Structure 1
């Protein structure tokens, strides 16, 4: 199972929106997808229609040893897409695991229980570079970074890439960067175009060709418990995420992509 962490320590960059809609797009393309909600806010779970009252077992129990993977996985309304929901209990993980020698490897060990059930796993990380994100990076083979088209984008990216290098050096030497996805692009704003150009000049081919536009329907969809690709598959945001999903599949190892 190919594991991809979706991370950016800066909040409000479209990270969870990207996780939900990429997971949906990959499932639509035929891949068996597991989305791990690893953010204490639990927005990915809400956005896929998993009610708070039905999250008795979640990613918190998964990494504290209170439940196995097959006990916490929930089916979603999207065929071939399952989710491990999240609760606010995750916010206490750094304190609870502070004395545990394997604290950075808990998620990796839990996902090892997957046993071929899914082709790909996306991990929606919290907007921080704490223990939860470190767990996700250790558990993953690659990293996808949603990057908002705004002034401070590159500054935050450099900090994240520094963390990736530290994880490679100490915990997961096989971690690669799958790509940078430009989000919240406003074609009416010259700054968005300038940031996009600057990021491509610095990062090069790591930047996906597809750009995710600002789109009201993308913002509306989570309140209905649906991915935008289901809520309104013809809106510009949905069409962009489908294009990004196809581009992502093209960057996956051949064994994973073949499943689509």
Structure 2
């Protein structure tokens, strides 16, 4: 199972929207996908229409070793897309994990214990911080996708995130690689959006995905209906951008060749 963390310590950059819609796009082409919600706010769970009452077990229980990954996962409305939901219990996990053995590898061990072939890909929606929840995701991941809002302040935390990734590589997970930076909330009417996009490409080059996700009302509306935007309105500019982004991500992962083999 390929594991991809979707992370950025700054909030409001489109992490959850990116995780939900990439997971949906991958499931739509036939992949067995797991979306792990690691954010105490549980927005990925809500955005997929999973009510609080349906979250009997969660990513908190998995991290604490109280249940297995398979026992905690629930199906979604999207065929081939399963969810490891989040509950408010996760808000205390940062403190509780400090005293546990192997606190940085709890999630990795849970993934390793899952039956081989159960899922092809796992996307992890990380909280807007660089605490132990995000560290667990980065330690367990092979790849990292960084959603980056096309606004000035979004650039400030990028170097800090990249430094954290390098520390994780050195200390815990040398195989972790940055799959790409995804520019989100791009407003063509705003010169600043264009300037930020150009600055990011100048700094990071080919690491930045070619696809740019525009600011789009339908992307914002979809979670209130408990649906990914790709199902809520496949033809809106935001959904079309995420389809292209998923295709670009697959190309980078060489998943087409792997599936054919």
TM-score band by shorter chain is over 0.9
Alignment partner, residue 150 of structure 1: 151
* In 2, Cα distance between equivalents of 1:175 and 1:117: 22
Deviations 1:8-60 (A, max 9, x none): 00000000000000000111122111000000000000000100011110001
Number of corresponding residues = 260
Q: Mind listing any 5+ residue stretches in structure 2 that lack a counterpart? A: none
* In 1, Cα distance between equivalents of 2:132 and 2:92: 10
Deviations 1:94-149 (A, max 9, x none): 21121223000000001112221111000000000000000000000010000000
CA, structure 1 residues 64+107, in 2 after alignment: closer, same or farther (shift >3 Å)?
same
Alignment partner, residue 6 of structure 1: 6
Helix, strand or coil at the partner of 2:152? coil
Alignment partner, residue 201 of structure 2: 200
Deviation, structure 1 residue 171: 0.8
Alignment partner, residue 243 of structure 2: 242
User: Is the Cα contact below 8 Å between 1:40 and 1:86 reproduced in 2?
Assistant: yes
* In 1, Cα distance between equivalents of 2:260 and 2:38: 25
Helix, strand or coil at the partner of 1:8? coil
Alignment partner, residue 27 of structure 1: 27
Alignment partner, residue 174 of structure 2: 173
Q: Mind listing any 5+ residue stretches in structure 1 that lack a counterpart? A: none
Alignment partner, residue 131 of structure 2: 130
* In 2, Cα distance between equivalents of 1:239 and 1:159: 31
User: Is the Cα contact below 8 Å between 2:97 and 2:132 reproduced in 1?
Assistant: no
User: Is the Cα contact below 8 Å between 1:119 and 1:259 reproduced in 2?
Assistant: no
User: Is the Cα contact below 8 Å between 1:119 and 1:256 reproduced in 2?
Assistant: no
CA, structure 1 residues 143+11, in 2 after alignment: closer, same or farther (shift >3 Å)?
same
* In 1, Cα distance between equivalents of 2:62 and 2:98: 17
Helix, strand or coil at the partner of 1:210? strand
User: Is the Cα contact below 8 Å between 2:42 and 2:87 reproduced in 1?
Assistant: yes
User: Is the Cα contact below 8 Å between 1:149 and 1:192 reproduced in 2?
Assistant: yes
**What is the correspondence of 1:1-260 to structure 2 with a 5 Å cutoff?**
1-115=1-115, 116-254=117-255, 257-258=258-259
Deviations 1:201-234 (A, max 9, x none): 0000000000000000000000000000000000
What's the C-alpha RMSD, in Å, of the aligned pairs?
Answer: 1.3
TM-score normalized with structure 2 length = 0.97
* In 2, Cα distance between equivalents of 1:16 and 1:230: 16
User: Is the Cα contact below 8 Å between 1:39 and 1:125 reproduced in 2?
Assistant: yes
